Amino acid sequence: MLDAVGHHPYARFVAGTSRQLFGVALAGCVLWRGVGPFGPVAHALGDAPPVARALAWARDGGLLDGVGWVNLPRRRPVPAGFALREEWDYLWLPSASALATADAAVQPLVDGDELDALLEVAYPGSELRWDSPIVSQWYGLYVDGRLAACAADRTFASPEPDARPTGVIGGVAVHPDYRGRGLGAAVTAGVAARLLTRHDQVGLGVAADNDAAARLYHRLGFTGRHALTSIRPV
């Protein structure tokens, strides 16, 4: 599959988390599915017309049976038979040297109650919490002994023996009392620096309408970008 898409960074990201990968390569499009941390999910790379044809073929042929959603290159309108789930961007560091800075004060967290209390006020809509199964380690920055910012290593490794997981950052949050001090950038860079010691690709996801976060990540060096539209069968 990776050969078929030229080892596209987004495909590397999802393949590294998945098992039971299979799909189809058609003219101008590759569509595949796999079982990852969120269950069966499908993905496609290619231009809109061949992707639409591949989706219709896959749905008629059962390739999408049981799939929760499909991630496509950004597009509107949503293909017939599907509804919009969300629009988001996968961002990645094009190289280890691209990381603009790293804060040595970023440290692993050990207090789950402290972390969850921060998320409750700083990022209540986050799907991640201390005991989230897709989080390997939480990291944070303290100001005057108080946890002021956090970010998670949410790298998820496929059980397949030949899978090559990529580093993934999530759950970036800054307490409202400490915003505007660059702590979000500092904690993100600190976690990225740690992941770069273990992975040759590090990335993260950001909502398509979160311009402030996207600009922050771009300044840090996350200049690789793949715009996505997630759709679900109806």
Domains of the chain: 9-89 (no CATH), 96-225 (3.40.630.30)
Q: Which pLDDT tens digit goes with each residue over 119-130?
A: 999 999 999 999
166 burial via Cβ count (<10 Å: 0-12, 13-18, 19+): buried
Instruction: State the average pLDDT over residues 102-109.
Output: 88
Which residues touch 52 (CB under 8 Å, ≥6 apart)?
Answer: 79
CB 233 within 8 A of CB 67: yes
Please report, for the chain, how many H helices and E strands are present, in that order: 5, 11
CA gap 29, 40 in Å, rounded: 20
Q: What angle do CA 148, 156, 21 make, to 5 degrees?
A: 150
CA gap 207, 89 in Å, rounded: 6
pLDDT at residue 103 is higher than 80: no
pLDDT at residue 80 is higher than 90: no
* Residue 36 token pair: 């990852």
pLDDT-based confidence at residue 76 (cuts at 50, 70, 90): confident
Q: Which pLDDT tens digit goes with each residue over 25-39?
A: 988 999 999 999 999
* Residue 223 token pair: 């200049």
